[in-house]
Amino acid sequence: MIRIANGQGFWGDWLEAPVRLVDQGPIDFLVLDYLAEVTMSILQKQKQEDPALGYARDFPPLIGRLANKLKDRNIKVVANAGGVNPVACARAVLKAAPGLKVAVIHGDDVFHRIDEFLGKGYDMRDMDTGRPISAIRKQILSANAYIGAFPLAEALDTGADVVIAGRSTDTALTLAPMVHRFGWKAEDWNKLAAGTIAGHIIECGAQCSGGNCQVDWESIPNMSDVGYPIVEAEPDGSFTVTKHTGSGGRAHTDTVKEQLLYELGDPKRYMTPDCIADFTTVQLADTGPDRVKVSGIRGGPRPPTLKLSISYTDGWKAIGTLVYSWPQAVEKARAADRIVRARLAGLGLAFDEIYTEFFGLNACNGPAAPPNPDPPEIQLRIGVRGQDRKAVDRFTRELIPLVLNGPPGATGFGDGRPPVREIVAYWSALIPREEIETRVEVIS
Amino acid sequence: MRRPLSTIAHTRSGDKGDTSNIGVIALRPEHYRVILREVTPDRVKEFFGDLVKGKVERFELPNLGAINLLLHEALGGGGTVSLRVDAQGKTYGAALLRMEVEID
């Protein structure tokens, strides 16, 4: 049995979580998931400004902080902290923790191969909308292939203490230690599917161990010290989801079920570079306090394609707010919205979209929100987006004047004009897997 | 009798692009067939009104006593493009718990 713990669900997750996973009990592997769909584009921009950047900058100081303990307890780290610059990340890690052996994975970054792919006839249509990539060719900021667990396992095979990937799948981080330790092969679909689902359960950190849990949420203990999840993996593919004894939170079939359903598509066909996992075969059982046994998982062969994660610029946006107080807060906020829209139209400004929400009334749930006829206050929230930065910038001037020249009772303008932000949109497409060759490099 | 879905189910919701997914999980095994009967794609689409521009798909996971709903074109363009405060549909699951269902 090996213990694999997840200490980060995204870049920006709780900084203390990985430290507590190392301090509060035994683990063999610490996996850290830093990348969301748009993170790569942010990192690409940082690298363009400074070639030594482009990775998750939280990661090297964390490894520096943990280095002695990782060495003493023989804990290996697997992380997709490399972003668009895994080598620079590895160098920063070695600077912070000189005694560790660090391996990086190359080959996921295809930013400079888009034209080559187009030349080969791959139109890389967006998996959501079906549009060909030629429609956004000039706007592309980053392009990466999602890579699976086998390159990561190969890196662990080198004896590395820290494995740094770029755009690996979230689930591969957890599956890789199993492939490495148990010697699973590319044809072991059921086992690979099991490890993939283990990865899916823990990839969002505490969201499977008490965080964001609806069932009896008030009774979940000691959330200020919530225990991040640990998978106790067996060579046959079965595993137990648990957390360190004495930590807060809850590991239960209820918390695990919620996370199993999170960001799920067709449950019979969960596609990864390693296998297709079937979530309808998962069997769960509470086998003790904070222990959930997971078994029975079946899967199918890996798909012939890999998914590309592409980011591109898509215009500008700004979102501004004002607060209207009782009485008639809703009516006043609605009137203010009409005035802003009329003034924007009067200026002849063109936007792709103007969108208004009324906080306290229906912002989160739209028509599904219950009636709230006379609330004590309402926040008006107007957003615009468009291709013309000047138009979006002008919009940001149109809210605060309403305090004096609009309906009565407006406040909450203290932060001034809202910022104009560039929109970085996400595009996913498929590419034959033969096009992507990965390579492991040990950096010293 | 008619009760809110929260009487028999818990949920978690998230996003994939402009699609929101809502997992609806029976609180007790006997509630699963009620969920299957009551939480249909048509009713979910009607419940969310013009928030959902595309179709609603439903997948069954009897092993978990759960269904997975996909609400297409439901997040104002999704992710970073969306002007919605809940651009990732994080609250859609809780919203659905308010839907009235016929409980045996």
Tens digits of residue pLDDT in B76-89: 998 889 999 999 99
Kindly state whether residues A270 and A375 are assigned to the same domain.
no
Query: Is residue A435, in this structure, part of any structural domain at all?
Result: no
Q: Answer whether A268 touches B (CB < 8 Å).
A: yes
Kindly state whether residues A83 and A226 are assigned to the same domain.
yes
A94–chain B nearest CA distance, Å: 34
The per-residue pLDDT for A56 is: 96
Element (H, E) at A118: helix A114-119
With cut-offs at 50, 70 and 90, classify the pLDDT of residue A175. very high
Mutate to test the interface with A, among B15, B71, B85, B96 (most CBs of A within 10 A): B85
Kindly state whether residues A248 and A353 are assigned to the same domain.
no
Domain count, chain A: 2
- If one compares A42 and A388, the residue with the highest pLDDT of the two is A388
Kindly state whether residues A343 and A250 are assigned to the same domain.
no
A79–chain B nearest CA distance, Å: 22
Sign of CA dihedral A58, A63, A64, A65: positive
Query: Is residue A114, in this structure, part of any structural domain at all?
Result: no
Average pLDDT (A403-418) is: 91
Kindly state whether residues A317 and A242 are assigned to the same domain.
no
With cut-offs at 50, 70 and 90, classify the pLDDT of residue A95. very high
Average pLDDT (A181-193) is: 98
Query: Is residue A124, in this structure, part of any structural domain at all?
Result: no
The CATH code of the domain that includes A388 is 3.30.70
Confidence check: pLDDT of A36 > 90: no
B88–chain A nearest CA distance, Å: 10
With cut-offs at 50, 70 and 90, classify the pLDDT of residue A414. confident
B16-60: pLDDT as tens digits: 989 999 999 999 999 999 999 999 999 999 999 999 999 999 999
Which residue does chain A place closest to B50, by CA atoms? A367
Domain count, chain B: 1
Kindly state whether residues A293 and A197 are assigned to the same domain.
yes
Chain A CB contacts of B46 under 8 Å are none
Structural domain of B36 = 2-102
Confidence check: pLDDT of A227 > 80: yes
Identify whether A327 is preceded by a cis peptide bond (ω within 30 of 0): yes
Verify whether the Cβ–Cβ distance B83 to A284 is below 8 Å.
no
With cut-offs at 50, 70 and 90, classify the pLDDT of residue A78. very high
What's the pTM value of the predicted model, to 2 decimals? 0.96
Chain A CB contacts of B79 under 8 Å are 37-38, 425-426
Confidence check: pLDDT of A62 > 80: yes
Q: Answer whether A366 touches B (CB < 8 Å).
A: yes
Verify whether the Cβ–Cβ distance B80 to A212 is below 8 Å.
no
Sign of CA dihedral A111, A112, A115, A120: negative
Backbone angles phi, psi at A77, to 5 degrees: -115, 135
The per-residue pLDDT for A335 is: 98
CA distance A251 to A255: 6
Q: Is the ipTM of this complex over 0.90?
A: yes
Verify whether the Cβ–Cβ distance A366 to B51 is below 8 Å.
yes
When CB atoms are compared, the residue of A128, A283, A319 closest to B83 is A319
Query: Is residue A345, in this structure, part of any structural domain at all?
Result: yes
Kindly state whether residues A8 and A87 are assigned to the same domain.
yes
Structural domain of A339 = 312-427
Kindly state whether residues A266 and A393 are assigned to the same domain.
no
Query: Is residue A12, in this structure, part of any structural domain at all?
Result: yes
Q: Answer whether A425 touches B (CB < 8 Å).
A: yes
Dihedral in degrees, nearest 10, Cα atoms A114, A118, A124, A129? 110
B91–chain A nearest CA distance, Å: 6
Q: Give the rounded percent of residues in chain A with a pLDDT score beyond 70.
A: 100
Query: Is residue A352, in this structure, part of any structural domain at all?
Result: yes
A295-305: pLDDT as tens digits: 999 999 999 99
Confidence check: pLDDT of B67 > 80: yes
Verify whether the Cβ–Cβ distance B80 to A423 is below 8 Å.
yes
Chain A CB contacts of B21 under 8 Å are 261-265
Confidence check: pLDDT of A37 > 80: no
Average pLDDT (B59-79) is: 96
The per-residue pLDDT for A48 is: 85
Kindly state whether residues A175 and A60 are assigned to the same domain.
yes
Domain boundary among A279, A303, A327: A303
Query: Is residue A438, in this structure, part of any structural domain at all?
Result: no
- If one compares A432 and A41, the residue with the highest pLDDT of the two is A432
Chain A CB contacts of B16 under 8 Å are 263, 265
The per-residue pLDDT for A436 is: 97
With cut-offs at 50, 70 and 90, classify the pLDDT of residue A42. confident
The three-state secondary structure class of A75 is coil
Query: Is residue A237, in this structure, part of any structural domain at all?
Result: yes
CA distance B57 to A119: 36
A271-294: pLDDT as tens digits: 999 999 999 999 999 999 999 999
Instruction: Name residues 167-206 of chain A within 8 A of B (Cβ).
Output: none
Helix locations, A215-362, DSSP H: 253-260, 329-346
Kindly state whether residues A217 and A168 are assigned to the same domain.
yes
A279–chain B nearest CA distance, Å: 7
Kindly state whether residues A290 and A342 are assigned to the same domain.
no
The per-residue pLDDT for A38 is: 73
Q: What angle do CA A160, A165, A168 make, to 5 degrees?
A: 130
The per-residue pLDDT for A15 is: 96
CA dist B93 → A301, A369, B44 (Å) = 32, 12, 11
Kindly state whether residues A210 and A64 are assigned to the same domain.
yes
The per-residue pLDDT for A393 is: 98
